[in-house]
Every structure is written in structure tokens, then in C-alpha cells.
Structure 1
Amino acid sequence: MQQPVKTYTVEQAKRKLEAYCAYQDRCHKEVREKLHQMRMIPGAIDEIIYHLLQHKFLDEERFARSFARGKFRHKQWGKNRIKQELKQRDIGDYLIKKAFTEIPDSEYIETFEELAQKRFDQLINEKDKYKKRKKLADYLIYRGWPGDWIYEKSKELIP
């Protein structure tokens, strides 16, 4: 026997989404998906999103800035990866540029240097220099660092 599907009134959904957005910054796409999962109709979705925007629970710029800051500081992602992830969340180029202002250039370069050195040190057992370069490059590319930096760094670390 199937369990009955939970339904929400617009007011209940507003309260639930307020808590959802207050817990962590969310983008419009995540909120819309959450409302679809709650089986809300399109008119109610628009009303709830409008309510969340009016009461500052939902703010794309704030989301983009905190996302970029967090992924850079905690996961050590480069700007390419952060940009790709923000685009998947339907964040525009203007807001992506604003989000990158949260990452100081000096800290960005320093993090790249540390990450490359750390990965190089982990590859101590790899004897073939070409495999070593490839492993280093693949690791840094996956994390979204600039290709020209990776090329230069791998040449520097693995002559």
C-alpha cells in the first residue's frame, strides 16, 4: 500500500522554504527544484519565490559570493571549476564576476602553489616523469586551475 503524498499549503511551503534558505544560501534553481519536489503548482512556486526575494531569504549575488568564497577556501577549487558550477546553477556572468571579487589574487596564486606542491609531494613513488606530469596536471585541471599555470608548474616541478 502506498503512503499518501504529503501536501503543503502556500503558507506552510513559505515557512519550510524560509528555513531551507536560512540554513544556507541557496540559488533560485535549488529553491525551484525543492518546490517541485514538494509538488507545488507553478503559480504557488512563483508566489513563494517572490516572498523569499522580498524578505531577503533568497539572493543570487549573496549565493554566488558565498559559493565562490567557500569552494575556494575549503575545497581549493580554481576559478574555472567555480565558474562551471555556478553556470550549472544558472548564475549569470555578471554575478560570477562579482563572486570572483571574493577571492584575492595573492591568495589565489598562493593556494595554487601550495596545492601543486602538495600533489607533487604525493607523487613521490611515480618514476616516469610523463606519468607524474599527467597525474599532477589532471589533479589541478579537475580542481579548475588555469591550464597555462598548470603547464608552467608541471615543467618547473618535473623537469
Structure 2
Amino acid sequence: MTDQHKDALRKAASFCAYQERTQQEVRERLADWGVWGDDAEAVIADLIEQNYLNEERFAKTFAGGKFRVKNWGKRKIKQHLQQRGITGYNLEQAMKEIEPADYRQTLRTLLDKKRQSLRDDSPLIIKQKLVRFALSRGYESDLIWSVLGEEGGQEDE
């Protein structure tokens, strides 16, 4: 193992220990440090072997955090994970971090809060604004309509 490899591995391990990272993020950081190609791949392999780098763990942490802290929907979480190079099995595992009952309740709470901030006499316009809001947060349209339908026309009263 060369001194450059040891140095890159030490810096990359520190980078990964600070917070969960993807291989893509580590590869980009290694390039910033002047480590490319086979050298970079060797460092990444060492990080995986030493469990500093684990994309399944990253995906689960990311998905759970964005859902619990930022109340993001699954569509938005998936999109952001895919932008970070997370696909397939790791993406599926990340989505399993979100309990369906919690997911539905979080959407319900978000919609209730948003409804309180809306000032309009038309129930139709309020519903449109709520749908647009929930879609922008990454929730699925069928779930949004289902949750809005549970309220059984309360807006009309």
C-alpha cells in the first residue's frame, strides 16, 4: 500500500465517519484530492471492507431522516437517492424504512397544517392547493386523493 493510498484512505475514512456517504460522493471527494481511477476504486473497496462505506445503510438513514425530519414523500426521497447513485436493492430497502401507517398519518398532518394557512372561500381551490402542495413534497397522487377523501367533504360545510 503506497503512502498516497494510505493518506487517501485515512482522509476518506474520516470523511465517511463524519456522516453516511455514497460511493459517488466519496469518488468525487477523492477526485478533489487528486485520486482517480484504479487508485480511487481501491480506496473505495477498502472503505467498504472496513464498513466505513455502506450504501444500504446510507439509503436507509437518508430515507428515514428526510421522511421524519423534513416530511418528504417517497417520490421525492427516491428521486434524491437516485441522483446520489442509489438504485435497485438499496433503494427498496430505504423505502422499507417508512412505515405505511406513519406515512399516511404524516401526509394527513401536513395537509391539515397547510389547510389552516389557506384563505379561500372555494373548497375546490383549497383542495387543488392542497394537492399541489402534497405533490411538491413528493407524495403520490392516489394517496393524496385518498387522504383528502377521508375527510368526507368537511370543506363544504
- Taking structure 2 as the reference length, the TM-score comes to 0.86
Q: Is 2:16 aligned against 1:27?
A: no
The residue that corresponds to 2:93 in the other structure is 98
- Assess if the C-alpha contact under 8 Å between 2:107 and 2:144 holds in 1: no
- State the shift of 1:58 in Å: 0.3
Q: Is 2:61 aligned against 1:66?
A: yes
Q: Is 2:103 aligned against 1:108?
A: yes
- State the shift of 1:102 in Å: 1.4
Amino acid in structure 2 at the alignment position of 1:110 = Q
- State the shift of 1:126 in Å: 3.1
Q: CA RMSD in A?
A: 1.9
Amino acid in structure 2 at the alignment position of 1:139 = F
The residue that corresponds to 2:137 in the other structure is 143
The residue that corresponds to 1:37 in the other structure is 32
Show structure 2 runs of 5+ residues with no match.
none
Q: Is 2:127 aligned against 1:133?
A: yes
- State the shift of 1:10 in Å: 2.2
CA deviation profile, 1:4-44 (whole Å, cap 9, x unmatched): xxxx9222221111111011111111111111222212121
Aligned residues: 151
The residue that corresponds to 2:71 in the other structure is 76
**Identical-pair percentage:** 36
Show structure 1 runs of 5+ residues with no match.
1-7
- Taking structure 1 as the reference length, the TM-score comes to 0.85
CA deviation profile, 1:42-61 (whole Å, cap 9, x unmatched): 12111110110110000011
C-alpha distance in structure 2 between counterparts of 1:39 and 1:129, whole Å: 58
